[in-house]
A and B are shown apart, each in its own frame.
Chain A
Amino acid sequence: MMEWALILGFIAAGIRTASPLLLASLGETVVQRGGILNLGIEGAMLMGAFSGFMGAYLTGNLWVGLLTSIIAGVLTVLIFGFLVIRINLDQVVSGLAINLLAMGLCLYFFRIAFSQGAFPYLGDLIGPYAIPGLSQIPVLGEVLFNQTVFVYIGLIAVPLIYFLIFKTSFGLRLRSIGEDPVVASYLGINVSRIRYLSLIIEGALVGMAGGLLTISMFNVFDSRIVAARGFVAVSIVILGRWNPWGALGGSLLFGFTEALSLWIGTFLVGPAAPSVSLLLRMLPYVVTILALLVGGRKVRGPAALGSPFSKE
């Protein structure tokens, strides 16, 4: 009985850890397919986390929080888009600048909204929703089909985004821009428009990934809450070979190895246990590097990824 509790608890922890990574890496997959490297998703997640919290706190409605997290994610990513598409600034520098801007804005608006020393928190969280029927399946039903809306959206988004990228004319244009925006432009494709659209999709998903942290996983906001998960999502895109199914695999791999590292660390006994647990915390990163070494050496990303594009 205890063993089952351990296994099911571990699976639940792995899925929970993977869920924000899945949403963020799916969004980043879309924009990178169009040749944009957005390192500002850490900041966009933070804005999503902050706005989701504020929306839910001010209205008392968690679903408003979900909406505001999406809007904030989209707006943040569009500011990035404005810098790299309209002004044609360097994508890496702009992404990092967005992260700093997001941190500053969140702290600034938090101060305006709350008196110094206030410790605001939400009275409730977006909890799991049991899918009728499926959640009744013995043992695994509870773990797999009694999840929060964020997990379901992430799982549904995988095939949808795959379809969008590989089976629609939008996706064809997006991919051609990612390979060579100049040629795509000569062929009559509106590069900026397609890239802005891809950024809107990313913003919604990344904002939601941030909102998940403050309206579903925890009930407080802290400017450190994203804890570099945006950057992890960028690495998952590469690990997943710029494919939504790959992003799913990469997120689950990362989520489960992170959960595994903490679970093993918790059950270690003996004088060396704390040191070993410290080493174990590297496990997700070591596994990611190994996965890239084994399966990623011949992988080539979109040819124009990170390159500036100007019609002139």
Chain B
Amino acid sequence: MKTSVIVGIVIVAVIVVGAAYAYTTMTAPAAPAFKVAAIYVTPLEETWNQVLHQALLEARDELGITYNYSERVSESQVESIMLQYINSGFNMIITHSWGFWETADRIAPQFPNVYFAQGSGLCTNFGNNLALFDYYIQEAAYEAGAIAAKMTNTSKVGIVTAFSGVGDVNNLLNGFVAGAKHVNPNLNVTISYINSWYDPPAARTAASALIASGVDVIYSERYGIFEACKDTSGKVLALAFGNIVDQNNLAPDVVVGSVVWDLYPMVRSMIQGALSDNFASGHYYTTMDTGGSKFVWNTAFQNNYPLVYSYSQTLQQQIINGTIYWNTSVTLINGTVVDGSNVPISVPNFRNP
């Protein structure tokens, strides 16, 4: 019995000390500065959250703002968390999940002196204080598609993604396919849906199926495929592209480069706008010309494929200059094999309204 009591005390002590540590870390005294709060639906470590978190840390260091966050907040909790931040004097609330958009759209008009930014959704009540942004990195996906088409030996490229029919994800798929078809209209593109937002073992199995069918370049829209790209002896069977964050180091002999989302330019623009009473409400698009969307080459591949690299730089300039463009009305991809000629190579109307 004594042992169990001691074990019990140790467990309770660990939990109490841990909770105290977490509490003190997350509620550091706020400086009298512009206060921004971010609310995440999943743990901070998720890549979707990391992009905004990194941008706000950068804003904290460069613009001197105060940044607090809440993570693992469910849709039913988000309103009360938002109100807590508002009552604590926060100037800007960023709700960073599709499931939060209706709440943000409803709350924003009630607090005209607070700025709101919603990460994806269908908001309409922009007023003067609500911004809507999304995962608009199709320009970089387009560049990745073009690079894939240049590097494939089998004229078969693939994509491993989550679900079909999701608008912001389809933007990327369309971008990748359009880029690939831009280089080679006859290229065969196969899309594999794992029907889960996060299931690396399933993504790996889907990638191995693509490779077995002759695909030799894969866009990893979802994480989990890199390990499938080598056989048991370590021989590279397929090349890959990372997504959202720079994943080049995860498998340096496989990942050609990553389609990267950088929210700092947008966050800076919003905060500076708010500070100068010139906040632009409405849609924000993270474009390549503003640095919100970028293709980051793996240096080793960049050095080994100088012609492809140089081609990609030209392409990048054409996208930035507006020579290559597509618009934001997206044709949904309904089939597994996508005919890129049907995908509008329209280019993002990626300018802030």
Contacts from A to B (Cβ < 8 Å): 2, 5-6, 9-10, 12-13, 16-17, 20, 79, 82, 86-87, 107-108, 110-111, 116-117, 119, 121, 125, 127-128, 130, 142, 146, 213, 217-220, 222-225, 227, 229, 258-259, 262-263, 265-271, 273-275, 277-278, 281
Which residue of the partner chain, among B205, B210, B223, B234, contacts A259 with CB atoms under 8 Å? B205
Which residue of the partner chain, among A82, A107, A229, A269, contacts B7 with CB atoms under 8 Å? A82
**In the bound complex, how far is the Cα of B54 from the Cα of A16, in angstroms?**
35
Please judge, given known A-B contacts A108-B22, A278-B195, whether A267 and B213 are in contact too, CB under 8 Å.
yes
Please judge, given known A-B contacts A266-B209, A267-B213, A269-B336, whether A146 and B250 are in contact too, CB under 8 Å.
no
Contact A275 B164 (CB under 8 A): yes
Please judge, given known A-B contacts A13-B209, A262-B192, whether A117 and B202 are in contact too, CB under 8 Å.
no
Residues of A within 8 A of B336 (CB): 266-270, 273-274, 277
B89 within 8 A of A: no
Question: In chain B between 197 and 248, which residues have their CB closer than 8 angstroms to a CB of chain A?
Answer: 198-202, 204-206, 208-214, 223-224, 227, 232, 234, 245
B112 within 8 A of A: no
Residues of A within 8 A of B7 (CB): 82
Contact A269 B57 (CB under 8 A): no
B31 within 8 A of A: no
Please judge, given known A-B contacts A117-B53, A121-B250, whether A217 and B208 are in contact too, CB under 8 Å.
no
A-B contact sample (16 more), CB < 8 A, given A5-B212, A10-B209, A213-B201? A6-B213, A13-B209, A82-B4, A110-B45, A116-B53, A119-B245, A121-B250, A130-B232, A219-B227, A220-B250, A222-B45, A259-B205, A265-B193, A273-B335, A278-B164, A278-B195
**In the bound complex, how far is the Cα of B203 from the Cα of A16, in angstroms?**
13
Write the chain B residue with the least CB distance to A78. Answer: B7
The minimal Cβ–Cβ distance linking B53 to chain A, given in whole angstroms, is: 6
Contacts from B to A (Cβ < 8 Å): 4, 7, 11, 18, 22, 43-46, 50, 53-54, 57, 163-165, 190, 192-196, 198-202, 204-206, 208-214, 223-224, 227, 232, 234, 245, 249-251, 334-337
Contact B232 A142 (CB under 8 A): yes
Please judge, given known A-B contacts A262-B192, A274-B336, whether A125 and B227 are in contact too, CB under 8 Å.
yes
Write the chain B residue with the least CB distance to A273. Answer: B336
Contact B193 A227 (CB under 8 A): no
The minimal Cβ–Cβ distance linking B45 to chain A, given in whole angstroms, is: 7
Give 5 closest A-B pairs by Cβ, nearest first. Answer: A274-B164, A9-B212, A273-B336, A266-B209, A266-B192
